[in-house]
Chain A
Amino acid sequence: MSRGDLYGLLIEFESPSLLMAAVEKVRDAGFKRWDVHTPFPVHGMDDAMGIRGTRLPWIILGGGLTGLVAATAMQWWMNAIDYPFVISGKPLFGLPANIPIMFELTVLFSAFATFFGMWGLNGMPKLYNPLLTSRRFRRATQDRFFIVIEARDPAFKLEKTREFLASLGGSEVEEIHESAED
């Protein structure tokens, strides 16, 4: 059975400090589609990888404003247009009475935007990752540190990238394919 297309190249390190040095070199080599896997969060990793700030806050702002507008429009239409009903002498559209709902929907839509925006940006839900075909990679949740450069990276050239990774001082470079060997 075929192992499918090449997914990327994997390299393993034994400590966070060895990893960090290598990570900075990968960043400086200009790769775009690559990632690092560690058993625990490593301080300073974002800077070392050159990860730019997330766009998530803008998505949340959009979600929040949508909720605010939706709550205002909904209450205005329901109370002042569709079913006008005077309650304890208040105006049909009285802002103070509507603010709690405006607040709640802003929060609710922001929370949805945060949660699903995070899914979207991370490419979730993802039921399968080719990295799971590697036996060695299982130790990413225990005591080993990995860098993977994906084959779809514009700067990826199988032999050159393999040589580059091998020069970083980790383990042997491993080819990862889309599906497991049978």
Chain B
Amino acid sequence: MSHPSFPRLEDTNTSLDGLGGRVFTISAVVGVLGLAATFALGAAQGDGLRRLGFTYLTSYTYILSISLGALTFIPIMYVTKASWNIVVRRLAEVMAAVMPLLAVLAIPVILFAGQVYGWADPQVAASPAMAHKAAYFSRGAFILRWVIYFAIWSLYGLFFWRQSLGQDADGDVQRTLRLENYSGFSIMIGAVSIAMASFDLLMSLDPLWFSTIFGVYYWAGGFVSFFAVMTLVTFGLQNTGRMTRIVSPEHLHDYGKAMFAFTFFWGYIAFSQYMLYWYANIPEETNWFLERSREGWGKLGIALIFVAFALPFAGLISRFAKRSRKMLAFWAFWIIAAQWLNIFWVVMPGYSEHFVFSIMDVTCFVGLAGVWLAAVTRLAMGHSLVPLKDPRLEASLRFENA
């Protein structure tokens, strides 16, 4: 038989042993140092931590969007009964299961709300246009919504992960069938909660502005970033001799396809949002774009068309690029930077009419990313990096693109 021989789990190392402790320590230290430096830089501004509040919101919103991407990815794979993803699904599971940590990290967003959000500004709140929104935009309602969002996300994040670990132990196919049933509802409730969370996190910076597509805009940026992070995590594991062979160029090809597709999807949504407001040209709607078209912010906005859309689109269009480790790694880093920059462009004009950028924005991102990675690593330690007894594991190992 001259069939190519298919890889087996026994052919590679599927545990974090040895590596996990080091990654956890290093990323936790980097994370804590990064956040401490950010706080020190923020306090040195002497503006009542207002600048700090904005940079924290930027990077927190971005990191959260990656975990939300993981939380959407898993149920989509279940409802479509997809098999290609099984060898890497555990990685997504731990990224989604860190939701309780992200809930704790949301506390500063609530603490900074007074300095950051337009609805907390008495002048804005006194506007007649705010009258019917007053109940929604109160601190109490804001906190209540965050409790609800994180109750939902933590429940699902931990549920998918625990069920998958449970299947490692008992190999019960019923678990997969049950998850396929639950996943449809989880996608629906996820769509609503993620959209509403994006309204709270980003759109309510200017409580008079509204965009019904905003939730999709936020989710799309997070989803493409999630695939970029998956790519880099997979490469990190493979470069240290883990998950080699079982994650083949065929799986990498799918990462590439997902990054390509959702880069385009993000651009499509971002443009859809812009074009309708441009065309209707109603002041209360265009104001948001006007603030982001002024000098500095406008240049960044134009740059984003290329940085977050056109260049990665062109870079990932060919089959060759999607199967090349170097190209994939390059574009994964690129997409993460570009999508962070997009959130930055959404958030920061709320802080200042003029373009601002400081080292604080970098340290805050590095800090939060470090803490997030430490938590993800901690959850991945002590378990297999691959769902051992998923009924579709064999199909995933043999996966080939047509």
Contact = CB atoms under 8 A, between A and B. Distances in A.
A99 B309 CA distance: 14
Contacts of B1: 17, 20
Contact of B3 (A17, A89, A90, A96): A17
A100 B275 contact: yes
Contacts of B319: 53, 57
Interface in A8-62: 17, 20-21, 24, 43-44, 47-48, 53, 57
Contacts of B279: 88, 90, 96-97
Contacts of A21: 2
Contacts of B3: 17, 20, 43-44
Contacts of B2: 17, 20-21, 24, 44, 48
A56 to B, nearest CB: 11
A55 to B, nearest CB: 12
Nearest to B280: A88
B318 interface: yes
A89 B281 contact: yes
Interface string A88-126: 111000001101100000000000000000000000000
A47 B318 CA distance: 20
Contact of A57 (B4, B271, B318, B400): B318
B39 to A, nearest CB: 41
Contact of A97 (B4, B275, B318): B275
A99 B400 contact: no
B70 to A, nearest CB: 30
A62 B61 CA distance: 40
Contacts of B275: 96-97, 99-100
B314 to A, nearest CB: 11
A83 B400 CA distance: 53
Contacts of A24: 2
A43 B400 contact: yes
A99 to B, nearest CB: 6
Contacts of A57: 318-319
A17 B319 CA distance: 29
A136 B4 CA distance: 29
Contacts, number: 34
B278 interface: yes
Contacts of A88: 279, 281
B274 interface: yes
Contacts of A90: 279
Nearest to A22: B2
A43 B319 CA distance: 19
A57 B318 CA distance: 8
A96 B301 CA distance: 15
Nearest to A53: B319
Contacts of B4: 43-44, 47
Nearest to A58: B318
Nearest to B277: A96
A88 B282 CA distance: 11
B281 A96 contact: no
Interface in B1-37: 1-4
B228 to A, nearest CB: 23
Contacts of A97: 275, 278-279
A120 to B, nearest CB: 20
A77 B275 CA distance: 21
A172 B45 CA distance: 88
Nearest to B271: A99
Nearest to B4: A44
Interface string B270-299: 010011001101000000000000000000
A43 B402 CA distance: 9
Interface in B111-126: none
A59 B157 CA distance: 44
Contacts of A44: 2-4
A57 B317 CA distance: 10
Nearest to B275: A96
A86 to B, nearest CB: 13
Nearest to B281: A88
B136 to A, nearest CB: 31
A96 B278 contact: yes
B274 A96 contact: yes
B285 to A, nearest CB: 14
Nearest to B398: A43
A90 B278 CA distance: 9
Contacts of B318: 57
Interface in B242-280: 271, 274-275, 278-279
27 contacts: A17-B1, A17-B2, A17-B3, A20-B1, A20-B2, A20-B3, A24-B2, A43-B3, A43-B4, A44-B3, A44-B4, A47-B4, A48-B2, A53-B319, A57-B318, A88-B279, A88-B281, A89-B281, A90-B279, A96-B274, A96-B278, A96-B279, A97-B278, A97-B279, A99-B271, A99-B275, A100-B275
Given A20-B3, A96-B271, 20 more contacts: A17-B1, A17-B2, A20-B2, A24-B2, A43-B4, A44-B2, A44-B3, A44-B4, A53-B319, A57-B318, A57-B319, A89-B281, A90-B279, A96-B274, A96-B275, A96-B278, A97-B275, A97-B278, A97-B279, A100-B275
The 5 closest A-B pairs by CB, nearest first: A17-B1, A20-B2, A96-B278, A96-B275, A44-B4
